Structure formats: C-alpha cells, structure tokens
Structure 1
C-alpha cells in the first residue's frame, strides 16, 4: 500500500465564509431525512472512519510532528492510537448503548404503561477542536456524534494546520459527505458557523472563547458542552513519596511540552518534604532527558510564536526563583522544563494558566491553609492531584472541587479513554469519552404507552372531581415517610405501605390492590404471548 504524505495534500486554506450556510443546511437536511438513525448507518460510518484513519496513520504522525514537534511515540500514545481504539470501542458497544433503558423506581400502578427511556440523536451538531491534541480533541467528539446518530460539522484548530488538513482528507474520503463536513479557518469562519442554528455545540479550548461561544449559543437556546482549561493544583503532603511525586508530576508536565489542559499548573508542597522532592525532580529530569530537552526528539515544541512569547512573558513576570531550567529558543519554539519556587499565591505563574512546561512550586506549612489557597486561586479547576496518605488525600478531595482528580498521580483519570471526562464551573460543563460520548450527543427521551385496559383505573383523573375521587387518588399515589417529625428513621412497616395495607381508608387500599392485581394480570398476558 502507498501511504499518503503531507506534501501530497493541498495547502491549508480557509473555507469561504459565504459557503458556510449551505454546509450547515446540507448536514441539517441529512439529519432530517432520518437516514442517520439506523444502527447500520452509524456502524458503517464508524467502520469507514476507522479504516480511513488506519490507512493514513503515517500521515497523521507526520502532521503532529510538523504542528507540535510530537514524537511518533507520543503522537500514537495520546492521539492516533487513542482515536483508533475509541472508534472500535464505540462500534463494538453501539447496539448496547442504543437500547431503550428501563427507568428505576417505577410504582406498580405505573408499570403497565411500560415506561422506558429512548436514546434519540440531538441533530446537526458543531464541533470546534483544539490545537494541543488536534486529533483526539476533534475526532473524539465526532466519534460520539456519529454513534449517537447525529450529523456534524467539524472545525479543527487553525493553529494545527497540518492535522486539520489530514483530518479533512480522511473525513471527505471516508464518511458520508451529506452528513459530515469540515470547515477550516479562524475567527471569521467560526463566527459564521456560530450564526447557524445547531442542535448542539461542542467546544474545546480556552475559557475566554468558551464564554463567547456560550453567550452566542444562548441566543438560540443551543445546548453546549464546554471542555475548558484550569489552573490545576497538585498537593504534595509531608507523608507523600517524594520520588513518585517527582516522576509522575514531571511526566504530566513534559507531555506535549506542558500544552495539556489537565496538567498541574502549580504545586503546593509541605516545606518539610521540599528538599527531597527537588532532589528527585532533578534525578527524574536527567533520566527522562539525559542529553537535555532541547535536542531530544521526544520533547515537543510550543505550537507557535504567539504562544511562545506569551509563555516567555509569563516567565519574566514572576518574582520567584528559577531552580531548574529556564532556557528558551524562539527560533525553534523551545522552552526548557522550568521549575520556579514562588513565595506568594498571587504570583502570576499561579494565577494564570501557563499551558506550557513551567512548574511553579509554593511551599506551605499547613495543609488546610494550602487547600484554602488552591480554592482561592481557582475554586473549580479541571483536575486536582493530591499526593500523600489516605487521610490527607481524602481531606483534599473533600474540601475541593474539580472536573476530575488523580490521587498520587498526574492526570491519570484523563488518560483512561472510556472514563467520562469533563470540567465543572469555570473549567467547563458536560462530559464525553467512552459511553459518555454517545450520551453527550443523545437525548434521553422518556416514553410511556397506555394500554386500553387500564381505563378503569384512570377514571380518577377525569372530571368532574369529587372528594371520593380524591380519596381514591390519594390511596393510589400517596406515599408515607420513612421518618418521624424529628427526622428519626422509622423501621418495620415499610413493606406494608408499599403493598398498600397501611393506607388509611378501605377504599384507598382497595384501589391500590386493584392496581396491583391489574399489573400482575398484564404481566401474565405478556408472558403468555411469549
């Protein structure tokens, strides 16, 4: 097989803005044709996407190298292999995800109505990807949209143009063009896309842009999923293992040169363990990059000059002391892993999200005070990473909020492809990955079917109303508390109330028993048909 090379693809070009309404109409019309609803259609698209990606794997790796300097190992680990496995997981489990669900805690008198929850596709959706993991953060939501039976337009990040080019090539040549389209460009093209009426918008990126998108979506009551960044804290208590903390947090910060929304933004560390932690941090850095990071092909570069200058300015603004690293090279967009000891929670390295290989460390003397500091800097980060004893990490989790957490590790919760991932508060809302990707683009539609034979039991709902009917309705529907007026739990008697024997008034109990008998009769009829 002859593999595609990036040089064989057309150059990156923006989609004409005046063509965007027609693109939207095309995918919206396809959805309203109902062709995307059958499982056979969805599976066909997922299978075609898998082979489109698999066949162009070398070009995908090349694109990530060109855009971000990612090594083939890291590109496959966090992007190409991830997306391929995600497609296979969704295709394998799609039938199970699509099945109607039986709701919980349905009263006996309502069971005859066969209450159930359907999973309906939301419609035509817009997906706006990010540059730091351009394949995973663009195609991951797309896989969920396809599985849910939606049509979609993908707008990849213009800051990773090579990844955007190869994704457009694969989607155009693999998927139904009436259902799935790619729009390339920046602010003008995104603005034009936001002028259309979508059934769902999925955005990954900064909180500033997320705010703009949420405001615009609110004008048309369009639901959004926002996957945003966060000033994520790591805690290292005096009972933590300094070697493990150093290795694991350094790995998390070196991945993609720190351009990871879930990597720790800063480290709060008990001053007693700080010397040991710094010692092991130096050893880990030497082990991971024995010849230095600058000439190491395993170490990514910063995405573009604008982001490089932002990081350089952030590093210049700190009043902290550089303990390790600090070297930069604008011509190659290289920033060395840099450890800075800061003295104040108001230091710019803590109050701003670095989104780069900067590792500020703030020592503390009291864990409760450290927790208060983290909550003051950002009360709802995307992730929290506590290292320490069970009691200490439990205390941290119980007194903080975050989209997710990895105890004694750096963002491991975000590296499990089938574990739901999302933010909370300022770090976003909504979740995806695994089954959550299917649910993200589905509507859980409650459905009942009322058979004709229950009409006699439904008579109490029809006018004219009377005290007798109200007593009957109370007997059929009113539940009794399992606690007294002082809030103490009442035990022994709950079963009688469920069966209706505890209802006051013989008429109410009799009506409830009639409902029970009717339901069991219906069950017997269903079993008899089988």
Structure 2
C-alpha cells in the first residue's frame, strides 16, 4: 500500500558540490561510452525497471505533493513514461542510423552524402511541479536515447517526488552520467552558471526568459516547454453534453494544473445557458458529494499558487456559474467556471493553471477568432468542438503549439507524437522520436573520392574560364516557371520534367545526359579492362 511507504524528507544538494557534479557528467560524456547504442539501451532498460519498481513510491510521493489520486499518477505519469520507454527501446536502433535517403543534386552523388546522428553532450533538465515525474523523466528518456549525459533539477514545489526520483536515479542509472540535483533558486542558479550543451526547461515564461538569457551568454541551445492562455471553441453545432464532459475532465485532472487545459471557452451566445447547464450536470456526475470530499480530486500545489488563483476569482467582474468554493488550509479550489464579457477581465489576462476557467460569448465565428488572437496569439494548446468547416477555419486562423478536435488536449497524451509550443508558449518539441532528436546533432558528412579531382578542376587556380563555364553548364538547371511566376506547361514541359530533355533547358539537359552516360560507360569499360582501380586513384 502506498500509505505505508516512507518518503524521505526533502534535502537540497550542497551548492559547493554542483561544479563537480557538472564536471563529472561532462567527463562521462567525453569518455565516449554514451555513444555506444547498446550502453544507451541498457540505461533505458534500467530506467524501465526503476519506474516499475518505484511505482508505489511515486504514487505515494505524488499523493503527498499534489494529493494526486493513484490512478492519475499511474495513467498520466508512470504509464505514459513506460509507453515512451517501450517505443524508444523498440525504435532506437533505427533512429540512430545515418540518414542516406536525403535530397541533393545528382552531381554530388559520388560523395555519398549522409547525415550522422550525434549526441549534443552534457545536458541540464529543469522540470516543473504539476507532473513532477513525467515532465522530468520524459526529456531524460530522449537525452539517454540520444547518447547525452544529464543533470535533472526537479521542482522544489514537489519535494516528495523530487526525493523519490533522486533515489531511483541513483539506484538504477549510471551515477557518473545521470544525477538529480535538488534545491531551490540558489541551486538552480549554480546549475545555470555551469556550461551545458543543451538546457531543457518546462515551466513558466518568466523563468524561461531568465534561463534563455543565461544560456545566450554561452551560446547554449534551449528547449522551452511553457504554457499559455489556451482557448476552446463551441458553437451551435457542438454536442454540448459531450463537450462539457470532456472539458470538465481536462480542467479537473490534477486540479487543472495542466499546461494544456483550456483557460477559457468561446461559446456562441445562443447556447451559453445550455452549455452552463451541461457543465453543472457533469460536475455532479463526477463529484456527487462535491469535489472536496472526492478521492479523485487533487489539490493546488502550495499556498503561493492557491493565492494567485484565488486572486483571479476575487477580482473578476464576471459571474460565477459553477463552483467558486475555496479553502486555503486544504489548498482546495473547486472546479469553477466564470462567465465574462470582456477579454480584459482578470480571468482572461493570465493563465489560470488551476481548476478555474472562463466562458466568453461570441456572435460569429470571426468574433471568436478575433478573441483568440487577441487574448494569446501563440497558446500551447487549442481545442475546438464545432462543425468540420468551423474546426478547419479555427485551425487555419488560430496558431497553437498543438490542437485537439472534439476533446480536451488529447494531442499531448500520445507519447509517440511531437509535443511543444510556439512563440510565447515555447520552442522545440519532444516525446518519442522528437525526444531523441531534441538532444541530437544532425551532422552532415560527405566523402569525396580521389578520382573526382578532375571534375573539381574549376575550383583550383589558375582560373580557367572554359573549365568554369563547363562547370556552370553541368550544374545549372532552368526554371520550370515563367517570369510571372506561373508554372510552365504543355508537352515540352512534361518532356523536361520526365527526361530533362524538353522545355527551356533542352540543350543543356541533353548534353548533360550525354556526358553522364559517357562517363558511366568509361567507368564500366575501365573495370572490364582491369584498369578500374587505376581510374579511381
């Protein structure tokens, strides 16, 4: 039983040990051992067993930090990570292969261009408190898969999970390559003072700006997974009962502390009252005796976040149409919906990151789009419940990191798909293959054979005008469009497209084909005569 598991008291990592920790993971990377794919697979397998063996520890820790129900801890954190690990273990040997099926001009074919996947190096992962296990370990999976070493800095606002994570990592993973550093602002500052090859941060925009500024001093690349004032759309075409059910789930999981959940819903004015009725019905269905007494409802992480959310409710000019109950001593805020009439209402100005959200009426779909683009032009998530035509118009006119049609943020629940923000909601993406690529450098490599030196003559001094002219002729192509930007068409164009022998480049293409076929025949003839090796030297 999770109630019987003892959670270690939170203990900050000594600040004076942080430089040595950073040096150790750098040295581990420089040892080259992490470039061995089999080594990476072993670490990922050990992480799998660590998550499995510590499942009850993490459930107990998440219960202590957020009052997170055990089934939520399993589904939204532990099971999600297990799925991502299974995918990575299955696909990693394919992901690490050189890319050879790439586009390049035929004149470079002999150089055998390829893209080699190489790890970035020693990385720093800074995680948040809302999903304190999943949002630290998911990027770690990508880092291990890519061949990086890593220091993980969990949020001090989820101390029990941070300590359980530290214990698991130390027990199951290579201690020279993967280290958990716990602490608060001083420890985070000390970590940022070290040089990293990549920083991965999940959290709020204000801290992200500090991290990005610090990273810029050493030209360190960053991935920022932030949040936003996420919109949702409902019209007369919507199944209101279903939308109410799904949006209520999306905003009550983890007490609404989900970066993807809706901050507000634009609802066509004619159906606002009906939608509110459906919300109240589904609330009573989810929590027959109220959310406060339910074992399925989490709590706000701490008093600071409680006060921030409650201030939004205290200062709104809108009308509370569902919920509104709060209890600071229990860090409880009930699922709350506020009907507002202005984008300037306090409920609309900030990301709630809690179980409270707004309804703002609109008259036409263009009005709804205008509201969304005014409130937050680049939210992390967008959900829309309209007709097919309405949904497509919303998707084409409103930008977001990801989007879900007819549900709440399910695009972020699929561990195989890229997840990330855009604009002020973040940069970069991860999960699945995208997680591997997040910590990978794509290194272009070509191999120039000795025999090509005669073809490369135009680049050498002394300059030869005939050789240079021949080179341009061999490597140039004619456009397949006219001066007005219109594509060329007709029989001549199709000959040019298929064979390279028609249209405006007919003469050049024909001669190039002659040269190419002649060269190929010459190579074949030399091999047949036994002089092939001489030719290639």
- TM range, normalised to the smaller chain? over 0.9
Equivalent-residue separation in structure 2 for 1:169 and 1:523 (angstroms): 64
Q: Find the counterpart in structure 1 of residue 37 from structure 2.
A: 39
Q: CA deviation at 1:502?
A: 2.3
Q: Find the counterpart in structure 2 of residue 151 from structure 1.
A: 149
Secondary structure of 2:291's partner?
Answer: coil
Equivalent-residue separation in structure 2 for 1:35 and 1:52 (angstroms): 21
Equivalent-residue separation in structure 2 for 1:376 and 1:391 (angstroms): 22
Equivalent-residue separation in structure 1 for 2:250 and 2:300 (angstroms): 16
Q: Find the counterpart in structure 2 of residue 495 from structure 1.
A: 498
Change (3 A) 1:274 1:515: farther
Change (3 A) 1:198 1:523: farther
Question: Which residue of the other structure, out of 314, 317, 339, is the alignment partner of 1:316?
Answer: 314
Paired residues for 1:259-270 under 5 Å: 259-270=257-268
CA contact (8 A) 1:457 1:515 kept: no
Question: Which residue of the other structure, out of 388, 392, 395, is the alignment partner of 2:393?
Answer: 395
Q: CA deviation at 1:466?
A: 2.5
Change (3 A) 1:516 1:305: farther
Equivalent-residue separation in structure 2 for 1:4 and 1:155 (angstroms): 26
Equivalent-residue separation in structure 2 for 1:408 and 1:523 (angstroms): 64
Most deviating of 366-375 and 211-220 = 366-375
Secondary structure of 1:263's partner?
Answer: coil
Q: CA deviation at 1:290?
A: 1.4
Equivalent-residue separation in structure 1 for 2:525 and 2:80 (angstroms): 51
Q: Find the counterpart in structure 2 of residue 337 from structure 1.
A: 335
Q: Deviations over 1:480-525 (max 9, x none)?
A: 1111112221132223438997244987665455566689999999
Equivalent-residue separation in structure 2 for 1:515 and 1:192 (angstroms): 62
The answer on 1:14 being equivalent to 2:7 is no
Paired residues for 1:41-440 under 5 Å: 41-440=39-438
Change (3 A) 1:382 1:514: farther
CA contact (8 A) 2:127 2:136 kept: yes
CA contact (8 A) 1:68 1:301 kept: yes
Equivalent-residue separation in structure 2 for 1:344 and 1:4 (angstroms): 46
Q: Which runs of 5+ in 1 are unaligned?
A: none
Equivalent-residue separation in structure 1 for 2:203 and 2:57 (angstroms): 25
Change (3 A) 1:522 1:73: farther
CA contact (8 A) 1:480 1:497 kept: no
Q: CA deviation at 1:5?
A: 5.8
Equivalent-residue separation in structure 2 for 1:523 and 1:20 (angstroms): 62
Q: CA deviation at 1:183?
A: 0.5
Equivalent-residue separation in structure 2 for 1:190 and 1:78 (angstroms): 26
Q: Deviations over 1:304-358 (max 9, x none)?
A: 1111111111110100001111011111111000111001111111110000010
Q: CA deviation at 1:286?
A: 1.2
Equivalent-residue separation in structure 1 for 2:94 and 2:374 (angstroms): 43
Change (3 A) 1:520 1:428: farther
CA contact (8 A) 1:4 1:59 kept: no
Q: CA deviation at 1:84?
A: 1.7
CA contact (8 A) 1:15 1:189 kept: yes
Secondary structure of 2:33's partner?
Answer: coil
Most deviating of 166-175 and 483-492 = 483-492
Change (3 A) 1:290 1:498: farther
CA contact (8 A) 2:477 2:505 kept: no
Change (3 A) 1:515 1:326: farther
Q: CA deviation at 1:6?
A: 4.4
CA contact (8 A) 2:501 2:507 kept: no
- Give the TM-score of the pair, scaled to structure 2: 0.93
Secondary structure of 2:292's partner?
Answer: coil
Q: CA deviation at 1:387?
A: 1.2
CA contact (8 A) 1:5 1:59 kept: no
Q: CA deviation at 1:237?
A: 1.6
Change (3 A) 1:501 1:368: closer
CA contact (8 A) 2:124 2:152 kept: yes
Change (3 A) 1:22 1:514: farther
- Give the TM-score of the pair, scaled to structure 1: 0.95
Number of residue pairs aligned between Structure 1 and Structure 2: 524
CA contact (8 A) 1:479 1:497 kept: no
Change (3 A) 1:443 1:520: farther
Most deviating of 401-410 and 201-210 = 401-410
CA contact (8 A) 1:242 1:277 kept: yes
Secondary structure of 1:370's partner?
Answer: helix
Secondary structure of 1:36's partner?
Answer: helix
Q: CA deviation at 1:109?
A: 1.9
